[in-house]
């Protein structure tokens, strides 16, 4: 049985990332703190068994459609498609066996920006009831600027919805530390997408002003996480899409997170219009992961750049239907540094 293969990339600063061909996964990120001590700040497992049995999309490439599709239904050119309903009444993260649950072909590369690994996967027509043969590539590059550049590409032979993302959980104090609520977050987002009780966008694009989702200045993640507001109550904490300020198709600065205890800082850049902010509200700490550590509730945060959730059913949202001859490209950059 294929047990998968891990790949390790290092840069001149001693930063190290680990990648896994199952799910084209970012499985580890070791970066220094303010005292020069290295720790792994990303959730993951030591072997395939953990990813198969307990994975909550830890570090995975997620698709074909990351996020939720209401009722698991959509139409393209008058043809209706019914996907798996695997999150309440809705479709989530590609279905029963999404891109996070398959082996990808891997190729190690040397580029001008740094060492890289390219993962590729062919999703056949009809897989998880999506139309079209979709060829997907995820390239991870580690630079000497302590950046992880993730480039996701896709082409198709039939019109199909495509929304890929990386689903890494971070704790800048070190994966396995009990909480991220004291991390300070700043988002380059003036608007968000309100959701219903199933976390499907209502279709409204609302200002963050006066809501718990106003992170336009640095604020502790835990400050308003339990506020009496639909944006936090429906997801038992933060689990919503925000709209990244920018024109789209150009890579812009979307988020900054600082952990004052370690001094670590994470900056996120994206060319996508949405940023899903999730605070691990449904983690239970009921299994052991890397190095025997557990991941309790709200011990990790996700910042997932991608398209607006439920876009196929909201024609006024930016279009995500990929057509033959077009190239899909999602670029995500995770940049690590020390906050002085």
pTM: 0.97
Cβ atoms 117, 104 nearer than 8 A: no
pLDDT at 340: 77
What gap in Å lies between CA 235 and CA 279, rounded to an integer?
9
Distances (CA, A) of 203 to 80, 88, 208, 251: 20, 19, 15, 25
What's the pLDDT tens digit per position in 146-190?
999 999 999 999 999 999 999 999 999 999 999 999 999 999 999
Q: Which of 275, 255, 274 is closest to 266 using CA atoms?
A: 255
Which pLDDT tens digit goes with each residue over 75-131?
999 999 999 999 999 999 999 999 999 999 999 999 999 999 999 999 999 999 999
In angstroms, the Cα distances linking 246 to 123, 188, 251, 253, 268 are: 31, 9, 9, 9, 14
For 32-76, the pLDDT digits (tens) are: 999 999 999 999 999 999 999 987 899 999 999 999 999 999 999
Residues involved in catalysis: 167, 304
Q: What is the pLDDT of residues 15-32, one digit of tens each?
A: 999 999 999 999 999 999
DSSP classification of residue 169: -
Q: Residue 54: its pLDDT value, please?
A: 87
Cis peptide before 122 (omega within 30 of 0): no
Mean pLDDT of 245-261: 92
Nearest to 221 by CA among 177, 258, 184: 184
Encode pLDDT of 305-336 as tens digits. 999 999 999 999 999 999 999 999 999 999 99
Q: Is the dihedral of CA 295, 297, 301, 305 positive or negative?
A: positive
pLDDT of res. 249: 76
Other beta carbons within 10 Å of 53: 9
Average pLDDT across the chain, whole number: 96
């Amino acid at each position: 049985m294929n047990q998968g293969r891990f790949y390790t990339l290092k840069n001149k600063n001693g930063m190290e990332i680990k990648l896994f061909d199952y799910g084209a996964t970012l499985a580890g990120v070791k970066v220094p703190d303010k005292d020069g001590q290295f720790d792994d700040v990303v959730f993951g497992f030591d072997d395939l068994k953990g990813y198969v049995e307990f994975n909550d999309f830890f570090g995975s490439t997620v698709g074909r459609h990351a996020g939720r599709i209401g009722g698991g239904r959509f139409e393209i050119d008058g043809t209706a498609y019914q996907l798996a309903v695997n999150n309440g009444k809705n479709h989530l993260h590609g279905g029963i066996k999404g891109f996070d649950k398959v082996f990808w072909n891997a190729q190690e590369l040397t580029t001008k920006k740094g060492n890289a690994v390219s993962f590729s996967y062919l999703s056949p027509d009809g897989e998880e009831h999506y139309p079209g043969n979709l060829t997907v590539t995820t390239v991870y590059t580690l630079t000497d600027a302590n950046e992880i550049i993730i480039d996701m590409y896709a082409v198709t032979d039939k019109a199909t919805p495509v929304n890929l993302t990386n689903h890494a959980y971070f704790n800048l104090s070190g994966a396995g530390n009990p909480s991220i609520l004291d991390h300070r977050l700043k988002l380059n987002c003036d608007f968000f997408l309100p959701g219903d009780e199933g976390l499907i966008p209502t279709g409204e694009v609302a200002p963050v002003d006066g809501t718990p989702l106003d992170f336009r200045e640095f604020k502790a993640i835990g400050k308003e996480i339990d506020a009496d507001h639909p944006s936090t109550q429906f997801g038992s904490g933060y689990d919503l899409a925000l709209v990244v300020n920018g024109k789209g198709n150009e890579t812009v600065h979307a988020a900054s997170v600082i952990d004052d205890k370690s001094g670590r800082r994470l900056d996120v850049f994206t060319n996508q219009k949405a940023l899903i902010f999730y605070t691990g509200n449904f983690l239970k700490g009921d299994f052991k992961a890397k190095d025997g550590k557990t991941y309790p509730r709200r011990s990790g945060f996700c910042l997932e750049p991608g398209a607006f959730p439920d876009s196929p059913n909201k024609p006024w949202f930016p279009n995500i239907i990929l057509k033959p001859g077009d190239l899909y490209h999602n670029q995500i950059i995770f940049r690590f540094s020390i906050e002085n």
